[in-house]
């Protein structure tokens, strides 16, 4: 549907029709019998997943035991395949005779069991690919069985009667019947009646004390023209201000941080103290929670849910405003997991939602065929002067005002970083967000920055040009970078 490339910026955008897959999520209001059926289907999915994990790993342990007795590889127990067709074929063969499923498997839709088997096949595929080094991120472990008290209640329907009722307040799902929705479904219903949308699947899930249904829909979407397609904007995320926006025309905007969790923290502490004073569950002695504890816990969870909804709403509004206006957006690849290890900033960083902002900016840009540039994690956006390009060796987090030692520029730290990110869009060579120094072939080091922080020699307080602080001019810095090209670590912007 979308074309990618540097030609997207500065081109006359023409509306194009295409098919995209997106989700529509609605809250449900099931009655008692329907909620029991929903829990039964989700439990069936968990049971099928646990059976598949046990069935596949049983052959692994059997082969390991046989090998310990000196049995040859040709005589070991054959490997059991974990593809979805193989798991489904074996499950259909044993479900009527296995005592774990014989008495109740007919009570649920076959889609419930297919959900568990599909999740198991995906888990084994991820484990295999991670072990072979084909996946990024930390190593994925062997799939394990899901505990009843920890497993997320979810089930996916791909075939059968999946329908949005014409009244806009009910949905129909296989074996569950017609379920009332907590909110109207006219937005999706209008697209279906107009013939511009087609439901592919439906997923029910229990979250924060409420049931939800998500419809995966293939729909037609027009590529809309942004207000300023030729303008690039740098987005610097922070805590004091949620985002500082600096575009290529010199305009600066500060987006305030709503701090929804801080506003609800006083009431949340009160609710948590009340929950702790009441008799809660204890698995060690088999004690069940009291009704007063369950009531207090529901009220506390409701407050958590409200804060999460407010945060989601604020992030969506911010990212939508940015993507509707600018053709190119430059964001940073922040190490959010590392920032959360800072005990003084973890709560505020988590409340800001840095990772979600970047994710939404990316996929909303793809909807409009716009470009997203992701600056490398080591790009010194805060330590680089947006006026002359000089790079500071150190800039502690407590210093909120940037002062350049070369040109004397004094500017807010976040505003300076946002300007540098906006300028980075000009060096981007592809639509995927790769950027580099055009003057240094083979080396991608914008403005001479590298992973390692530069250290000044003891007793040397002036640079080559005689200025204080050991600063160098941009041209001299590029010459030194060329000389150190073989000795410094090279990084890329992607």
Helix (H) or strand (E) holding 229: strand 228-237
Give the max Cα distance, the chain. 87
Is residue 236 among the annotated active site residues?
yes
Is the same domain home to 209 and 239? no
Spatial neighbors of 442 by CB under 8 A, at least 6 apart, are none
Q: Calculate the CA 414 to chain-centre distance.
A: 24
Which residue out of 111, 247, 414, 415 is catalytically annotated? 414
Which residue out of 332, 351, 376, 415 is catalytically annotated? 332
Is the same domain home to 23 and 41? no
Is the same domain home to 36 and 85? yes
Distance CA 362, CA 12 (A): 21
Is the same domain home to 245 and 329? yes
Which of 169, 192, 222 is the last residue in one of the domains? 222
The C-alpha angle 52, 58, 61, rounded to 5 degrees, equals 145
Domain count, the chain: 3
pLDDT digits (tens, 9 = 90+) for 367-424: 888 999 999 888 889 999 988 888 988 888 888 899 998 888 899 999 999 999 999 8
Distances (CA, A) of 362 to 20, 321, 373, 420: 15, 13, 9, 20
Q: Is 146 among the domain residues? A: no
Q: Is 337 among the domain residues? A: yes
Which of 172, 201, 222 is the last residue in one of the domains? 222
Distance CA 262, CA 182 (A): 29
Is the same domain home to 478 and 393? yes
Is the same domain home to 167 and 301? no
Is the same domain home to 218 and 363? no
Which of 197, 222, 247 is the last residue in one of the domains? 222
- Write out the chain's pLDDT in tens, 494 residues: 333 333 232 233 233 456 888 899 999 999 999 999 999 999 999 999 999 999 999 999 999 999 988 888 888 889 999 999 999 999 999 998 888 888 899 999 999 999 999 999 999 999 999 999 888 888 889 999 999 988 999 999 999 899 999 999 999 999 999 999 999 999 999 999 998 899 999 999 998 889 999 999 998 888 888 899 999 999 999 998 999 999 988 899 999 999 999 999 999 999 999 999 999 999 899 899 999 999 999 999 999 999 999 999 999 999 999 999 999 999 999 989 889 998 888 999 999 999 999 999 999 998 888 999 999 888 889 999 988 888 988 888 888 899 998 888 899 999 999 999 999 888 764 443 434 333 333 333 444 444 554 433 333 333 334 333 333 344 444 444 444 433 323 222 22
3-state SS of 153-216 is CEEEECCCCCEECCCCCEEEECCCEEEEECCCCHHHHHHHHCCCEEEEEEEEEEECCEEEEEEE
426 CB-contact burial (10 Å; exposed 0-12 / middle 13-18 / buried 19+): middle
Is the same domain home to 59 and 94? yes
Q: Is 149 among the domain residues? A: no
Is the same domain home to 171 and 279? no
Is the same domain home to 268 and 216? no
Question: Do the strands 241-247 and 228-237 form a parallel or antiparallel pair, or are they unpaired?
Answer: antiparallel
Is residue 332 among the annotated active site residues?
yes
Question: Do the strands 210-222 and 197-207 form a parallel or antiparallel pair, or are they unpaired?
Answer: antiparallel
Domain span at residue 214? 17-28+154-222
List the structure tokens of 11.
């081109």
Q: Is 416 among the domain residues? A: yes
The pairs formed by 139-142 with CB atoms below 8 angstroms and a separation of 24 or more are 142/57
Q: Is 494 among the domain residues? A: no
């Amino acid at each position: 549907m979308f074309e990618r490339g540097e030609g997207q910026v500065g081109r006359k955008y023409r509306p194009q029709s295409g098919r995209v897959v997106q989700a529509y999520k609605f809250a449900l209001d099931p009655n008692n019998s329907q909620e029991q059926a929903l829990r039964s289907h989700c439990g069936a999915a968990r049971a099928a997943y646990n059976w598949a994990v046990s069935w596949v790993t049983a052959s692994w342990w059997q082969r390991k035991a046989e090998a310990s007795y000196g049995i040859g590889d040709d005589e070991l127990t054959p490997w059991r395949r974990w593809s979805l067709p193989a798991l489904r074929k074996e499950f259909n063969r044993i479900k009527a005779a296995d005592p774990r499923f014989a008495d109740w498997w007919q009570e649920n839709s076959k889609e419930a069991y297919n959900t568990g088997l599909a999740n198991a096949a995906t888990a084994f595929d991820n484990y295999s690919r991670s072990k072979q080094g084909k996946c990024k991120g930390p190593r994925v472990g062997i799939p394990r069985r899901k505990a009843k008290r920890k497993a997320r209640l979810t089930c996916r329907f791909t075939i059968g009667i999946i329908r949005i009722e014409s009244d806009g307040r009910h949905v129909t799902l296989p074996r569950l019947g017609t379920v009332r929705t907590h909110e109207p479904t006219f937005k999706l219903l209008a697209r279906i009646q107009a013939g511009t949308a087609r439901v592919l699947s439906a997923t029910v899930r229990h979250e924060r004390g409420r049931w939800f249904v998500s419809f995966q829909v293939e729909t037609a979407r027009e590529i809309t023209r942004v207000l300023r397609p030729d303008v690039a904007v740098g987005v610097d995320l922070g805590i004091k201000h949620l985002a500082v926006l600096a575009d290529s025309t010199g305009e600066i905007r500060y987006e305030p941080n709503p701090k929804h969790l801080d506003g609800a923290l006083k009431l949340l502490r009160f609710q948590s103290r009340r929950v702790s004073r009441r008799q809660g569950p204890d698995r060690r002695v088999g004690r069940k929670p009291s009704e007063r504890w369950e009531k207090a816990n529901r009220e506390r969870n409701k407050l958590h849910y409200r804060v999460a909804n407010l945060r989601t709403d604020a992030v969506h509004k911010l990212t939508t405003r940015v993507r509707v206006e600018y053709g190119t957006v430059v964001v940073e690849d922040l190490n959010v997991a590392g920032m959360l290890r800072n005990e003084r900033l973890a709560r505020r960083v988590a409340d800001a939602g840095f990772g979600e902002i970047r994710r939404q900016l990316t996929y909303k840009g793809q909807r409009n065929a716009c470009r997203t540039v992701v600056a490398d994690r080591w790009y010194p956006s805060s330590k680089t002067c947006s006026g002359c390009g000089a790079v500071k060796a150190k800039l502690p987090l407590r210093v909120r005002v940037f002062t350049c030692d070369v040109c004397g520029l004094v500017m807010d730290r976040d505003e300076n970083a946002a300007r540098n990110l906006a300028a980075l869009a000009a060096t981007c060579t592809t639509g995927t967000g790769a950027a580099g120094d055009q003057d240094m072939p083979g080396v991608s080091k914008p403005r001479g920055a590298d992973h390692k922080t530069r250290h000044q020699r003891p007793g040397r307080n002036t640079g080559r040009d005689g200025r204080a602080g050991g600063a160098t001019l941009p041209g001299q810095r590029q010459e030194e970078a060329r000389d150190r090209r073989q000795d410094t670590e090279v990084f890329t912007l992607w």
